[in-house]
Amino acid sequence: MTSSVTSHSKMLNAALVVDNVTKKYASGTEALKGVSLTVPQGDFYALLGPNGAGKTSLIGIVTGLVNKTSGTVSVFGHDIDRETEAAKSMIGLVGQEVNFNPFEKPIDIVVNQGGYYGVPRSIAIPRAEKLLSDLGLFEKKNSKAMELSGGMKRRLMIARALIHEPKFLILDEPTAGVDVELRRSMWEYLTTLTQGGLTILLTTHYLEEAEKLAKNVAIINKGSIVAQGTMDEVLSLYKGGADDKYATGKLESVFLELTKK
Ligand SMILES: Nc1ncnc2c1ncn2[C@@H]1O[C@H](COP(=O)(O)OP(=O)(O)OP(=O)(O)O)[C@@H](O)[C@H]1O
Ligand SMILES: [Mg+2]
């Protein structure tokens, strides 16, 4: 009884509840084999796993881009199958692949995205300018997007994802291809956003940064969660890695131990 009460209140307070989700692609690949996880409101949550583990598939399901095979997902209590629009409106997505029109200007890319969510231009324009300025792109707002560097494109994706003021920001490898200094300022920016109440779920292969910044973490391997909990709980699985001369942190050792082939 107690446990069902606890899990119910946990669900009411959660930004995201994924319950026993499976995904089998038409090709036959079983990308997710019964994944369950809960992202508390206001969390900075890291979803970690090697290439091909199922991270992008899971994000695709949560954001409505990929159909799940079975299981349930709810976003701030809205079931993604029954209350699709309500769930979607709460999410901002920074996808793994850069996917804006290279001939458009950053300011238009961000403002037009607001249009899809019903944000009037009179509100979207100043909001987009503020976002572009916070992300160091203000001078580039009227350039063609194709003229931005790789790191600038990633930051433009973040500005675009925030234009409708989502409560939940999902980022699939936002720091891939971003230099050290910019990566640090991006983590800093994301941390500031969570302090303002935004919930963040991200994937990254930079484990030493995730170790410092994420509150909760899940490690996924071959479609199954192999560890999850607070960062301290997951780090407590560390059994010493003296023989690993490349390890840059405890999380990396735990990750390798749990995901080795
Ligand atoms: N559209 C698709 N059709 C068929 N199989 C797919 C499709 N998308 C992904 N897969 C397969 O599903 C599995 C999980 O892929 P996914 O992209 O979710 O992994 P990932 O954890 O995001 O990896 P990475 O770190 O490389 O981005 C892989 O075996 C992949 O080949
Ligand atoms: Mg991926």
210-253 pLDDT, tens digit each = 998 999 999 999 999 999 999 999 999 988 765 666 777 899 99
Assigned token pair, 71: 């299981």
Q: Which of 90, 45, 39 is nearest to 80 (CA)?
A: 90
Q: Is 31 near ligand 1, meaning CB less than 6 Å away? A: yes
Mean pLDDT on 16-32 = 98
- Pairwise pLDDT comparison (135 vs 246), residue with the higher score: 135
Look at the block and give the residue holding tokens 């290439």. 51
Residue nearest to atom 29 of ligand 1 (CA): 52
Instruction: Give the ligand at the shortest distance from the Cα of 57.
Output: 1
Assigned token pair, 249: 């942190």
Candidate from 56, 170, 175 with most ligand 1 atoms within 8 A of CB, to mutate: 56
- Rounded Cα distance between 81 and 107, Å, is 33
Atom of ligand 1 nearest to the CA of 220: 21
Residue 241 is predicted with a pLDDT of 61
Question: What does the angle CA 50 – CA 52 – CA 58 come to, to the nearest 5 degrees?
Answer: 100
Candidate from 21, 23, 24, 29 with most ligand 1 atoms within 8 A of CB, to mutate: 29
Residue nearest to atom 27 of ligand 1 (CA): 51
Mean pLDDT on 90-105 = 95
Q: Is 49 near ligand 1, meaning CB less than 6 Å away? A: yes
Residue type, position 226, single letter: V
Instruction: Give the ligand at the shortest distance from the Cα of 205.
Output: 1
- Rounded Cα distance between 174 and 151, Å, is 9
Candidate from 18, 22, 24, 25 with most ligand 1 atoms within 8 A of CB, to mutate: 25
Q: Is 131 helix (H, G, I), strand (E, B) or coil?
A: helix
Q: Is 27 near ligand 1, meaning CB less than 6 Å away? A: yes
Q: Is 51 near ligand 1, meaning CB less than 6 Å away? A: yes
Distance 254 CA to ligand 1 centre (A): 23
Q: Is 65 near ligand 1, meaning CB less than 6 Å away? A: no
Residue 190 is predicted with a pLDDT of 95
Contact 247, 208 (CB under 8 A): no
Fold of 2-90+167-177+185-259: Rossmann fold (3.40.50)
Residue 8 is predicted with a pLDDT of 53
Q: Is 68 near ligand 1, meaning CB less than 6 Å away? A: no
Residue 9 is predicted with a pLDDT of 52
Distance 134 CA to ligand 2 centre (A): 27
Distance 122 CA to ligand 2 centre (A): 35
Which residues of the chain form CATH 3.40.50.300? 2-90+167-177+185-259
Mean pLDDT on 10-18 = 82
Predicted structure pTM score: 0.93
